[in-house]
Amino acid sequence: MKKCYLITGASSGIGYQISADLLAQGHVVVGVSRNVSDKVRQLENDYPDDFFFQEKDLSVDIDSLSKWVVKLSKEFGKFSGFIHSAGMQQILPLKVNTHKHMLEVFNLNLFAGLALAKGITDRRVKAESSVSVVFISSVASVMGAPGLINYSASKASINGAMRSMAIELAPLGVRVNSVLPGFVETEMMGKWSDVYTREYIDQNHSRCPLGIGGVDDISNMVLFLLSDKAKWITGAEFKVDGGFSLGDLR
């Protein structure tokens, strides 16, 4: 059955792959990001009747996002799922950290996701059948690294919020889960190319029992969580990291 999904971060990396995979399965995708990338143009071209792109900065006017979801639903249909993949990384030592930096990360990674999820649970928005919400968290929510304080905190917060949401929303037929990716080569790494050098990536490749992952590895898990095969799964965190977080002691 054709279903309608709301996906943030659809212009690149993991969010793009999830969008492309859902469209290939015949679903409708409303994708959100700040910029119309070449990948967005390609999806618009390939799926003119099923892919609808919304250019929006999700870190601004966060309280208005829930009402915006109601508007989207009137235009495109009731949503069977919401995936919050938009996220920003920040590498910043504590000594130069400020409230402004903290808010920047939390606004997008956590607060925007919660506001959009609130919109999804509105009875005018929610599909009659069950609804699945998936937050793209990170293994950084359960592991540490210098400079990742705000990022790790924002991703750990999303896991905490996810658990309470799962209990609160179960009576409405809404399942809520987090996926915790490990190292996946996406545009995000390109944005931090001075940190994620080829040497650094190769080093992490060797620290990861199954090597560095691809966006399809994350998308496969998300598609499973959206499907009825996951109908008894809520409030769970899924590490999809090729074994990176096992912390091989050798």
Ligand X SMILES: NC(=O)c1ccc[n+]([C@@H]2O[C@H](COP(=O)([O-])OP(=O)(O)OC[C@H]3O[C@@H](n4cnc5c(N)ncnc54)[C@H](OP(=O)(O)O)[C@@H]3O)[C@@H](O)[C@H]2O)c1
What separation, in Å, do the N-terminal and C-terminal C-alpha atoms of the chain show? 48
Between CA 176 and CA 158 the distance in angstroms is 11
In angstroms, give the least distance from the CB of 128 to ligand X.
29
In angstroms, give the least distance from the CB of 103 to ligand X.
12
- Pairing verdict, β 131-136 and 28-33: unpaired
Comparing CB distances to ligand X, the nearer of 81 and 127 is 81
C-alpha to C-alpha distances, 165 to 137, 160, 181, nearest whole angstrom: 15, 9, 21
In angstroms, give the least distance from the CB of 127 to ligand X.
24
Comparing CB distances to ligand X, the nearer of 34 and 173 is 34
Comparing CB distances to ligand X, the nearer of 81 and 181 is 181
CA diameter of the chain: 55
Comparing CB distances to ligand X, the nearer of 15 and 127 is 15
Instruction: Give, for 84, the enclosing helix (H) or strand (E).
Output: strand 81-84
Task: With CA atoms as reference, report the closest residue to 157 among 120, 121, 119, 111.
Answer: 111
In angstroms, give the least distance from the CB of 100 to ligand X.
15
- Going by the DSSP 8-state scheme, the letter that residue 232 receives in this structure is T
Instruction: Give, for 28, the enclosing helix (H) or strand (E).
Output: strand 28-33
In angstroms, give the least distance from the CB of 83 to ligand X.
10
In angstroms, give the least distance from the CB of 94 to ligand X.
20
Q: Tokens representing 36? A: 């119309």
Helix axes 149-169, 113-120, angle to 10 degrees: 20
Comparing CB distances to ligand X, the nearer of 109 and 127 is 109
In angstroms, give the least distance from the CB of 129 to ligand X.
27
Applying CB under 6 A, the residues found at the interface with ligand X are: 8-9, 11-15, 33-35, 57-59, 85-89, 108, 136, 138, 181, 183-184, 186-188
Strand pairing partners for 25? none
Comparing CB distances to ligand X, the nearer of 79 and 127 is 79
Comparing CB distances to ligand X, the nearer of 188 and 233 is 188
Dihedral in degrees, nearest 10, Cα atoms 190, 194, 199, 203: -80
